[in-house]
Structure 1
Amino acid sequence: MPRQANKIYTSPWGDHAKVEPGSAWDYVCGYPTHSDCLEDKHPKLALHDLVTDEKWSYGDMRDWTTCIAAALLNGKLGLKPGDRVLLSHPSGPIFLILLFACLRAQLIPGLANPAYTPKEFLHGFKTIEAKAVLRPKALADAFKEAGISDDISVDTTWPPNERSKAQVWDLARGDVAKANKILADKGADRPVDWKKTAGIFFSSGTTGLPKAVCISHSNLLNEFKSYEHVPDFDTDPYQPHYVALPLFHVAGLLSWLFAGIMGRPVLFSYKQPLDPQLLMKHFDQSGAVQMMVVPPLLLGITKMKLMTDKTHPHVRFLIAGAAPLGPDLHKESMALFGGKPIIQVWGMSETTGAATKASPVEEIVVGSCGKIMPSVEMRIVDEEEKDVEDGQPGEVWIRGEINMVGYLNNPEATREMITEDGWLKTGDIGYVGPDGDSLHLVDRKKELIKFRGYQVAPAELEDLIQGHPDIADVGVVGVKDSNGTDELPRAYCVLGPNAKDKKKEDLAKEIVSFVKSKVSSQKQLRGGVVFIDAIPKNPSGKILRKDLRALSANDQAKPKPKL
């Protein structure tokens, strides 16, 4: 069959409506359709922290973000619109208040994981050339160790300390009218260029130090419109929205932003390490009928049977994203939920979140991460960057208004990522299923294990091994053979509660045999099985394979079970 040229996949749901230019702050805190949310006489709940039970109305959010924005521009740091700042604060309402204060001041926030090491904080600070740092007192020592001066740091500790004169909350005390005048005088009332950088996410860093991903207001608002155009996207402004994901990650932030644009009450429950029982308790309290989960959380909920069709009859569907969800876990979880949909979304920071999504009112294709979003295009290409034949795997490319502005101060990496005609090379290997619309992911291009000329996808083996009753979690990487010429699949496994008394040597052999009975020869665990206490992951649930490879490099030679 001759190779097809430029096979472009588009959304079966068509294109979304035109997006009116503006900023995310305008859409949440100043949009005309939200007048009922913002009137002081009709305060509507915007943010509710289920961990601390603190609540903020949309009016509170508008007023606090305005006053903090004025304080940031009028303070001793000499900040001005367009300056970049590093924001690191635990996820929850306070994080959003600080983030939207930056947007109101037309500052550009770089969102740093508060669990970063001093080295990672310094990398983020230098990469975005931050003029200031917004962080709580609990992170002061980490920033000090990183060599970042307290003189450019703003203390965001909550609740406020009445004796402090240096906290952002103290600096922001005052009336809103005065704050608005300061913002106007400082130039923060000028229309934003919505195509330029509004905020910065740091890429996952699963293979190295994170890059600074520049996202515009246009990216954010076009992503919302794409999401809104998918069938059965619920726009009821009174339906509670539950968020249990980190807000410095694109999936968590957009999950909140979409609810905020609609004027919904948003209830938060985020605590590290992830506690499935606590999250489900808070989900029950929220009154929400849907929830977005990362696959590790879904695995815990499923293994512990924390949600079934009998215990949660009101739940309409779950959304899984931010990391791969294998078909076996997908089927097992949906069966436990009585067949209720678990819809997948797929994307990355560089695509402002989801580029594909499934609809809960259409037939769920198990193992698929959905169909291309409205107003977005997709190609599947081979190593020569030519379009593959239908149904064949290749690298997924995406084009649309959701694609990032670029990597900050890294034009070479941006050119490697985005072609001259606007296609973003995601690095994910996937194929389109028989229906001609549903995308199925195989694995990350850089994470495939190469054994004797074959490509082995770690995600496939992980999904298989997770189905073993004695395994709670697993991560698979390739390790070099004795000649250093081939990669051998190795499984790092976490024991389940029922396997603690078993001999690890016997269980390792059992796992090897279990996999051998279900896969072809090149996919067998020739690198063996190693038991560890926990699989290293980033906050969104993606396995940190570089950490597993570091473990394998430090492992002493061990006898491998014969295959």
Structure 2
Amino acid sequence: MLLPALGGALPDQREAIRVGDQTASWEQIRDAAAGIAGRIAGAPAVAVHATASLDTVVAIVGGLMAGVPVVPVPADAGPVELAHILTDSGAALLLAQTPPPVPLPIPVEPVDRARPGPSTPIAEPPGTATALILYTSGTTGAPKGVLLTRDAIGYGLDALAEAWAWTPDDTLAHGLPLYHVHGLVLGVLGALRVGCRLVHTGRPHPDRYATAGGTLLFGVPTVWSRIAADPVSARALAPARLLVSGSAPLPVPVFDRLRELTGHRPVERYGMTETLITVSTRVDGERRPGHVGLPLRGIATRLVDDAGQPVPEDGESIGELQVRGPTLFAGYLGMPEATEASHAPGGWFRTGDVATVGPDGQHRIVGRASIDLIKSGGYRIGAGEVENMLLAHPGVREAAVVGVPHPELGQEIVAYVVGDGVAAQALIDFVAGRLSWHKRPRQVHLVDALPRNAMGKVQKRQLLP
């Protein structure tokens, strides 16, 4: 069963889920979701307007109960993106309490939590059935629908529960969006599979994390950076059991500041929409700043160069990270050629990320091969290493590094920095004095803010000339 917390004997918890100021027991979630399931059973797919609400949780669980592929739609999706997702996914209807104020290609229905469920329970679908269709960010074209099976989700969550000692005694707290792997699969379905209480803070504000009472807290680097800058909220997290960071590399200075304020060394993990979470630090293992740990149970990883040849696992050599295992997606919806192109022989998925792996198996993600691996003057340089060094300067609050075409070097290192009272040349000299000379930025642009998406990831393509 994908969500055992909602089957059989319900856990004895008065409040199973809190989203903002809305609460529900396990029984209320099960019964409301059953009503949704009875309404949509047999549909080819159903879309859910994924706002931070209890209605979203009920609608998604209802789709999973019915065995209908669920298509979470970003709450802030623009009209073009929205139309593409609804049309491409083949969703029969959109479940939305307050529909988006634009023309839609499919019918819209409100989430009716009072609707009774079917008299006969719907049978659990096979593990190979599609559970979710999650859409990629569309950085290389129109967003692609990623098909995630029930088995892949269940296996991935169980492997994380082992790695993090995640049990029904935990209270999971986070304020992440409910339409992607981090906030939805880990942050909602994880709680429902493990059987622990969930507190969704509505928005990921430091003060809300501080008062959520979580033993297990999920955040992205932007969230943790804001918490690290709020000592009162950060210190309130000291009683927690585990702080987990993902979706992008956690800057080393933020890691160090959280350790100082909370007493916790954050756990980092790595994954993608197409692979779910494949690598993570263990609760009882080493938590090394800038590293995401070891492959989860059943997951294999390897590094290859541009020619597909193995890269030494010496902690220094950079290569493309490829992964293989039971958490991989079943393909891109309606795109067999793209699915085939995303795999190397032997079932290896090409992540498009570059990384290093040490002799002890510790993985460090450098970034996207297309933008975070800079080839300058014959050297292969990871943008993240330069960014972390810039962030070590006391006057730097944010930093993003890109490679810009250069007639002699191939690419030159260019940094965009949000800071206080810093000068461009001083930052260049700061990096040059601490890293290899060839890793220094050739240009530093001081800016008021860095472009970010809804997950807080820096949109580096917008920085390129």
Identify whether the pair has TM-score above 0.5, normalized to the shorter chain.
yes
The match for 1:107 among 59, 68, 73 is 68
Letter in 2 for 1:28: A
Letter in 2 for 1:444: R
Equivalences for 1:232-247 in 2 at 5 Å? Answer: 233-235=165-167, 237-247=168-178
Structure 2 partner of 1:281: 207
Cα distance in 1 for residues equivalent to 2:191 and 2:450: 32
Cα distance in 1 for residues equivalent to 2:209 and 2:255: 20
Structure 2 partner of 1:512: 428
The 1:367–1:485 alpha-carbon spacing in structure 2 relative to 1, beyond 3 Å, is: closer
Structure 1 partner of 2:198: 266
Structure 2 partner of 1:168: 111
SS at match of 1:116: coil
The match for 2:453 among 530, 538, 558 is 538
The question of 1:251 aligning with 2:182 is answered: yes
Cα distance in 2 for residues equivalent to 1:531 and 1:463: 17
Structure 1 partner of 2:146: 213
Tell me the CA shift for residue 174 of structure 1. 4.1
The question of 1:45 aligning with 2:6 is answered: no
Task: Tell me: higher relative CO, structure 1 or 2? Use CA pairs within 8 A at least 6 residues apart.
Answer: 1
More deviation, 108-117/200-209? 200-209
Cα distance in 2 for residues equivalent to 1:99 and 1:299: 30
Query: Greater helix share, 1 or 2?
Result: 1
- Structure with larger Rg: 1
The match for 1:529 among 445, 453, 456 is 445
Cα distance in 2 for residues equivalent to 1:445 and 1:115: 28
The question of 1:91 aligning with 2:49 is answered: no
Cα distance in 2 for residues equivalent to 1:450 and 1:528: 18
Cα distance in 2 for residues equivalent to 1:361 and 1:334: 16
Tell me the CA shift for residue 378 of structure 1. 1.5
Q: Deviations over 1:250-304 (max 9, x none)?
A: 0112132222122222111132xx5xxxx33333333222312211111222233
The question of 1:431 aligning with 2:364 is answered: no
Tell me the CA shift for residue 88 of structure 1. 2.1
Tell me the CA shift for residue 515 of structure 1. 2.6
The question of 1:455 aligning with 2:391 is answered: no
Tell me the CA shift for residue 468 of structure 1. 2.5
Cα distance in 2 for residues equivalent to 1:154 and 1:55: 25
Are the equivalent residues in 2 in contact too, given 1:511–1:529 (CA < 8 A)?
no
The 1:385–1:487 alpha-carbon spacing in structure 2 relative to 1, beyond 3 Å, is: same
Cα distance in 2 for residues equivalent to 1:112 and 1:312: 31
Tell me the CA shift for residue 387 of structure 1. 1.9
More deviation, 107-116/367-376? 107-116
Cα distance in 2 for residues equivalent to 1:307 and 1:382: 44
Cα distance in 2 for residues equivalent to 1:325 and 1:208: 27
Tell me the CA shift for residue 420 of structure 1. 4.3
Letter in 1 for 2:366: V
SS at match of 1:430: strand
Cα distance in 1 for residues equivalent to 2:30 and 2:87: 31
Q: Deviations over 1:174-211 (max 9, x none)?
A: 433xx345xx7xxxx34413213211111233454432
The question of 1:129 aligning with 2:90 is answered: yes
Structure 1 partner of 2:37: 69
How many pairs were matched up? 461
Letter in 2 for 1:523: K
Structure 2 partner of 1:558: none
SS at match of 2:146: strand
Structure 2 partner of 1:204: 137
The 1:306–1:408 alpha-carbon spacing in structure 2 relative to 1, beyond 3 Å, is: farther
Tell me the CA shift for residue 384 of structure 1. 1.9
Structure 2 partner of 1:16: none
Q: Deviations over 1:211-243 (max 9, x none)?
A: 21110000011112211222x5131x2432212
Tell me the CA shift for residue 68 of structure 1. 1.8
Q: Deviations over 1:62-101 (max 9, x none)?
A: 111111222335xxxxxx34x1233222123221111111
Are the equivalent residues in 1 in contact too, given 2:47–2:70 (CA < 8 A)?
yes
The 1:491–1:429 alpha-carbon spacing in structure 2 relative to 1, beyond 3 Å, is: same
Tell me the CA shift for residue 469 of structure 1. 2.6
SS at match of 1:281: helix
Equivalences for 1:283-298 in 2 at 5 Å? Answer: 283-298=209-224
Cα distance in 1 for residues equivalent to 2:367 and 2:337: 25
Are the equivalent residues in 2 in contact too, given 1:377–1:398 (CA < 8 A)?
yes
Structure 2 partner of 1:381: 304
SS at match of 2:270: strand
Q: Deviations over 1:351-401 (max 9, x none)?
A: 12x211112223322321011101111222222222222313322211111
Letter in 1 for 2:303: I
Tell me the CA shift for residue 424 of structure 1. 1.2
The 1:380–1:306 alpha-carbon spacing in structure 2 relative to 1, beyond 3 Å, is: farther
Letter in 2 for 1:175: P
Cα distance in 2 for residues equivalent to 1:400 and 1:379: 12
Structure 2 partner of 1:344: 268
Cα distance in 2 for residues equivalent to 1:55 and 1:468: 44
TM-score when normalising by structure 2: 0.91
Cα distance in 2 for residues equivalent to 1:191 and 1:58: 18
Cα distance in 2 for residues equivalent to 1:289 and 1:191: 31
What is the aligned-residue RMSD (CA, Å)? 2.4
